[in-house]
Amino acid sequence: MAAALFQTVLRAQTAKVGSTTTTLSTIFAHYTLNPLLIDPAYAGFTENHHLNMNIRSQWTGFPEAPKSYRIGYNGPIGKTLGVGANLLSENLGNVSVLRFQLNYAFRYQIRDVKLAAGFSTDFYSMKVAESVLQNPLYEIGDPIVQDAVDGNNIFDAALGFWSTFKDRTFIGLTFSNLVVAKIGDIESGSPEGSLFRYVVLNFGHVFDIEPYNFTIEPSMMVQRIKDKPFQADFNLKGSFINDKLIAGISYRAGLGGAAGLLLGTNIDVFKLYYSYDVSFQNVQQYNGGTHEVTVAFDFDGGRKRFDRTPVRN
């Protein structure tokens, strides 16, 4: 009985790795600081060169809790082209994912409106740890489990749009998992279109509080993911002392809800951010919450040294 139950659970887990309809993809909480984390059109948008390193540890203290590591670069090439490259490693229990992503974007300035359209190509390598084969409850020769241990390589793509008005109002729209979703439709015989099954909408506005030398940025991010409940993030970020100090709060509606705090600092080209999230689900009582750290470097892409206009990193 125990062996049969183990085999059923293991096959369900590994089937997800072997299926083209499922991918693991972390949305880092620091997308409010670096929109490229959710929108490929943001590559090169600020005219500066950015190098970012992210670490996200979810459900700390919980056995085999998810951990994500990312390093990425994006910057401009000429007046209209932006490029980016990202390497992401994710671990969730026995499943590991190595993901390489390339971003390409084209930007245009029309008076007070700046527009960008971009896309990304993603290459995934997904595996289940070989240790599952040593479990005494594993049924030797199971083809699904064996294929997952050998690993699966997946190609995917995303399409994004990003726009700002007077450098204060911004809106972004991303359609992700375009290739995986389409192949999933073919495999399942679904007649429905796949373009709108993985959608991320992000928008907000920066308010200048000039008498007190700080800015307030309320924003909202809405996700629609196939087979998952609707999810929305409500964010409020403040920048003080010419962006030397960053602080923010966020609330996530959907999937039980969650709340987070953000602290950070910008010192010349160096940037350091930390956030802590807690979930309102029952699982929160068994873990220490989620920690995320970003270390970033923002290099001048051609702006004059005396230009202190804040840029989003």
Is 239 domain-assigned?
no
What value does the mean pLDDT take over residues 205-221? 91
- Does the pLDDT at position 6 exceed 50? no
pLDDT for the residue numbered 183: 58
pLDDT digits (tens, 9 = 90+) for 261-288: 999 999 999 999 999 999 888 878 888 8
Nearest residue to 109 via CA among 44, 51, 173, 50: 44
Coil, strand, or helix at residue 73?
A: strand
Domain presence at residue 289: no
Query: Could you report how far apart the first and last alpha carbons of the chain are, in Å?
Result: 54
Write out the residue range of the structural domain in which residue 148 sits. Answer: 2-214
Q: Does a structural domain hold residue 168? A: yes
In a domain, 232, yes or no: no
Which of the two residues, 224 and 310, has the higher pLDDT score?
224
> For helices 2-18 and 143-150, what crossing angle results, to 10°?
50
Q: What global pTM score does this model have?
A: 0.82
Domain membership flag for residue 300:
no
| Residue 178 binned pLDDT confidence (cut-offs 50, 70, 90) | confident
| pLDDT of 7 | 46
What's the angle, vertex CA 178, arms to CA 84 and CA 105, rounded to 5? 25
Count structural domains, the chain.
1
Specify if 155 maps to a domain: yes
C-alpha closest to that of 33 among 278, 312, 286: 312
- Torsion sign (Cα): 225, 231, 233, 234: positive
Has residue 245 been placed in a domain? no
Cα–Cα distance, 148 to 137 (Å, whole number) = 17
> In 3D, which of 267, 263, 266, 297 has the Cα closest to residue 277?
263
Alpha-carbon distance 32 to 29, whole Å?
7
Q: Which of 66-75, 134-143, 167-176 has the lowest mean pLDDT?
A: 134-143
SS3 readout for 255-286: CCCEEEEEEEEEECCEEEEEEEEEECCHHHHH
